[in-house]
Amino acid sequence: MKKINNPTQNTWSEILKRPTQSFADIEETVKGIFKEILQKGDVAVQKYTSLFDGSSSENILVSKAEIEEATELVSKELKQAIEVAKNNIYKFHEAQKTEKIEIETTEGVFCWQEKRPIQKVGLYIPGGSAPLFSTVLMLAVPASIAGCTEIVLCSPPNKQGKINPAILYVANLCGVTKIFKVGGIQAIGAMTFGTETIPQVYKIFGPGNQFVTVAKQVATQYGVGIDMPAGPSELLVYADETSVPSFVASDLLSQAEHGTDSQVILVTTNNEVLKAVEKEIYLQLEKLPRAAIAAQAIEKSKLILVENEQLALDLINEYGPEHFIICSKNEGFFIDGIQNAGSVFIGNFTPESAGDYASGTNHTLPTNGSAKTYSGVNLDSFMKSMTFQKITEKGIQNIGKSIEIMAEAEGLQAHKNAVTLRLKKIK
Return binding residues for Zn(2+).
Answer: 255, 258, 356, 415
Binding site, residues?
124, 186, 209, 233, 255, 258, 323, 356, 410, 415
User: Among the options 322, 363, 404, 408, which is catalytic?
Assistant: 322
**What is d(CA 332, CA 268) in angstroms, rounded to the nearest whole number?**
16
For residue 258, how many C-alpha atoms fall within 13 Å in the half-sphere facing its CB?
22
**What is d(CA 359, CA 378) in angstroms, rounded to the nearest whole number?**
14
Is residue 111 within 8 Å of residue 389, measured between CB atoms?
yes
Residue 322 annotated to the active site: yes
User: Among the options 323, 331, 352, 408, which is catalytic?
Assistant: 323
**What is d(CA 411, CA 421) in angstroms, rounded to the nearest whole number?**
17
Binding site for substrate, residues?
233, 255, 258, 323, 356, 410, 415
Non-local CB neighbours of 51 within 8 Å, separated by 6+ positions: none
Q: Supply the DSSP symbol for 61.
A: B
SS3 116: strand
Q: What is the DSSP string of 255-269?
A: HHTT-TT-EEEEEES
DSSP bridge partners of 236 = 265, 324
Please give the C-alpha separations between residue 236 and each of 330, 332, 360, in angstroms, as whole numbers.
17, 17, 21
Residue 323 annotated to the active site: yes
Q: What is the DSSP string of 192-210?
A: HH--SSSPP-SEEE----H
Query: Which alpha helices (DSSP H) does 257-308 contain, by range?
Result: 271-285, 291-299
**What is d(CA 296, CA 161) in angstroms, rounded to the nearest whole number?**
29
Non-local CB neighbours of 143 within 8 Å, separated by 6+ positions: 121, 123, 151, 175, 205, 382
**What is d(CA 260, CA 246) in angstroms, rounded to the nearest whole number?**
22
Binding site for NAD(+), residues?
124, 186, 209
Non-local CB neighbours of 349 within 8 Å, separated by 6+ positions: none
Burial code (b: 16+ CB inside 10 Å, e: under 16) for 201-210 equals: bbbbbbbbbb
Is residue 116 within 8 Å of residue 381, measured between CB atoms?
no
DSSP bridge partners of 205 = 123
Catalytic residue numbers, as ranges? 322-323
